[in-house]
């Protein structure tokens, strides 16, 4: 724990948002602790988790913000979007309303959060509970791809926290995109700056390190 304090490895804040009861907490628990339970309590406000990844012989830390799904909390939880570098938007394939809410969540995210290069943060769409066998919504892959393109998602995955389907794949996909935007960002910013701080952090680390 104390070592984490001084770790200069990249740290990314990742939001996990979506309607109430779509399985955000379950996905995080599966991803971080490799466990699944039907006994998770409702999230009030925001819960936290930390995932440490080995990425190209480098340690990457993901700070997962598990945000309460009730729309009412929107005013309160939107404050937490501020410093996010990536996001998962989750819906439940068995409940069509949760899919309809996705555009609302995405607009919300984009309105509160823009990278300095005016692009939105890397966002991956997760179609959770795909083990339930009622995947009417996601059967049409082409349509889903088009939906992602139209709404600014970098990709989508059919996931199941229960059966551990595609969870780490989706996370790796998101990290890849975050790293890519990070690098683009550094490349575009570094040439016209003389700040020594940025030059110092350039090799091997990212600008997000000091956020810990």
Partner 1 sequence: MTYKISLRSHQQPSYSSVPPLVFSLSLFLSLSLSLSLSLSLSVSLSICRSLSLSLAVSFFLSLPVSATLGLSFSLSLSLCLSLSLSLCLSVCLSVWFLWRFRFLMYLQEYEARAGKAGSGGTSPTQPQHGRRKNLDFEPLSTTALILEDRPSNLPAKPVEEAQRHRQEYDEMVAEAKKRELKEAQRKRKEMKERFKQEDSIANAMVVWNHDILPNWDNMRNTRRVRELWWQGLPPNVRGKVWSLAIGNELNITPELYDIFLSRAKERWRSFSETGSEADDGASLADRESSLDLIKLDISRTFPPLFIFQKGGPYHDLLHSVLGAYTCYRPDVGYVQGMSFIAAVLILNLDEADAFIAFANLLNKPCQLAFFRVDHDLMLKYFAAFEVFFEENLPRLFNHFQNSNLTPDLYLIDWIFTLYSKSLPLDVACRVWDVFCRDGEEFLFRTGLGILRLYEDVLLQMDFIHSAQFLTRLPEDIDSDRLFACIAAMPMLNGNKKWSQVSSSKHKKTGK
Positions touching partner 1 (CB under 8 A) are: 1-2, 4-5, 20-21, 38-50, 63, 68, 70, 72-73, 75-76, 79, 96-97, 211-212
Min dist. Cβ of residue 167 to partner 1 (A): 19
Can you tell me the distance from the alpha carbon of 100 to that of 102, in angstroms, rounded to the nearest whole number?
5
In whole angstroms, the minimum distance from the beta carbon of 142 to partner 1 comes to 26
Distances (CA, A) of 14 to 20, 42, 85, 188: 18, 20, 6, 23
Instruction: Give DSSP secondary structure letters for 180-196.
Output: HHHHHHHHHHGGG---H
Nearer to partner 1, 112 or 149 (CB): 112
Smallest distance, partner 1 to C-beta of residue 3, A: 10
Q: Where are the alpha helices (DSSP H) in 56-154?
A: 74-77, 96-100, 102-112, 141-151
In the complex, the smallest distance separating the C-beta of residue 43 from partner 1, rounded to whole angstroms, is 8
Count of CB atoms situated within 10 Å of the CB of 49: 17
CB of 95 to partner 1, least distance (A): 8
Specify the residue, 36 or 40, whose C-beta has the smaller distance to partner 1.
40
Based on CB atoms, which residue is closest to partner 1, 77 or 166?
77
Strands, sheet with 58-67, edge to edge from the N-terminal-most edge strand: 46-55, 58-67, 11-18, 86-92, 122-128, 155-158
3-state secondary structure of 53: strand
Q: Return all residues near 143 (Cβ < 8 A) that are at least 6 apart.
A: none
């Amino acid at each position: 724990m104390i070592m984490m304090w001084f770790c200069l490895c990249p740290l990314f804040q990742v939001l996990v948002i979506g309607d109430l009861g779509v399985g955000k907490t379950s996905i995080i628990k599966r991803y971080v602790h490799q466990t699944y339970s039907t006994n998770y309590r409702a999230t009030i406000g925001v819960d936290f988790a930390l995932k440490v990844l080995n990425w190209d012989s480098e340690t990457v830390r993901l700070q997962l913000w598990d945000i309460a799904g009730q729309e009412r909390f929107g005013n309160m939880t939107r404050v937490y979007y501020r410093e996010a570098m990536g996001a998962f938007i989750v819906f439940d394939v068995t409940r069509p309303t949760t899919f309809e809410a996705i555009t609302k969540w995405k607009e919300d995210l984009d309105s509160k959060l823009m990278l300095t290069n005016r692009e939105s943060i890397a966002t991956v769409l997760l179609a959770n509970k795909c083990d339930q066998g009622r995947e009417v919504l996601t059967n049409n892959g082409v349509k889903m791809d088009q939906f992602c393109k139209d709404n600014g998602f970098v990709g989508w995955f059919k996931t199941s926290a229960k059966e551990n389907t595609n969870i780490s794949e989706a996370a790796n996909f998101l990290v890849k995109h975050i790293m890519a935007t990070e690098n683009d960002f550094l490349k575009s910013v570094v040439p016209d700056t003389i700040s020594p701080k940025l030059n110092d952090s350039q090799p091997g680390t990212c600008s997000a390190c000091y956020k810990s």
